Amino acid sequence: MAQQGIRAQQREQTRATLVRESRALFATLGYAGVGLAEIVRTAGVTKGALYHHFSGKEDLFRVVLEEVQREIGERVATAADAYGDPWDQLTAGCREFLTASTAPDVRRIMLVDGPAVLGWSAWRAMDAAASARHLGEALTTLIEAGVIPAQPVTPLVHLLSGAMNEAALWLSSPTAGPADLPAAQAALDRLLQGLRAPRGPVGE
Domain count along the chain: 2
Residues 83 and 184 in one domain: yes
Report pLDDT for 1.
Answer: 56
Residues 35 and 60 in one domain: no
Residues 139 and 185 in one domain: yes
pTM of the model: 0.87
* Cβ–Cβ < 8 Å for 138, 156: no
What is the rounded CA–CA span in Å between residue 64 and residue 133?
19
Percent share of the chain, pLDDT over 90: 74
What is the rounded CA–CA span in Å between residue 103 and residue 187?
20
What's the pLDDT band for 130 if we cut at 50, 70, 90? confident
Residue 74: which domain range? 56-194
User: pLDDT tens across 44-94, in order?
Assistant: 999 999 999 999 999 999 999 999 999 998 999 999 999 999 999 999 999
b/e map of 77-99 (b: 16 or more CB within 10 Å)? eebbeeeeebbebbbbbbbbbbb
Residues 102 and 182 in one domain: yes
Residues 41 and 99 in one domain: no
Burial class of residue 192 in the structure, from the number of CB atoms within 10 Å of its CB (0-12 exposed, 13-18 middle, 19+ buried): middle
Residue 200 lies in a domain: no
- Kindly give, in sequence order, each residue whose CB lies less than 8 Å from that of residue 196, ignoring residues fewer than 6 positions away: 87, 147, 148
* Cβ–Cβ < 8 Å for 108, 26: yes
Question: Which CATH number fits the domain that encloses residue 13?
Answer: 1.10.10.60
What is the rounded CA–CA span in Å between residue 6 and residue 144?
51
DSSP codes joined into one string, 123-138: HHHHHHHTHHHHHHHH
- Kindly give, in sequence order, each residue whose CB lies less than 8 Å from that of residue 124, ignoring residues fewer than 6 positions away: 115
Residues 95 and 176 in one domain: yes
The closest alpha carbon to 54, from 28, 36, 30, 33, belongs to 36
What is the rounded CA–CA span in Å between residue 142 and residue 199?
14
Choosing from 13, 36, 54, the residue where a domain stops is 54
Residues 67 and 46 in one domain: no
> Is pLDDT at 161 greater than 60 in this prediction?
yes
> Is pLDDT at 117 greater than 90 in this prediction?
yes
Which CA distances in Å does 58 have to 61, 62, 172? 5, 6, 24
Residues 110 and 146 in one domain: yes
Q: Residue 34 phi/psi, 5° resolution? A: -120, 130
Residue 204 lies in a domain: no
What is the rounded CA–CA span in Å between residue 174 and residue 177?
8
Choosing from 19, 37, 54, the residue where a domain stops is 54
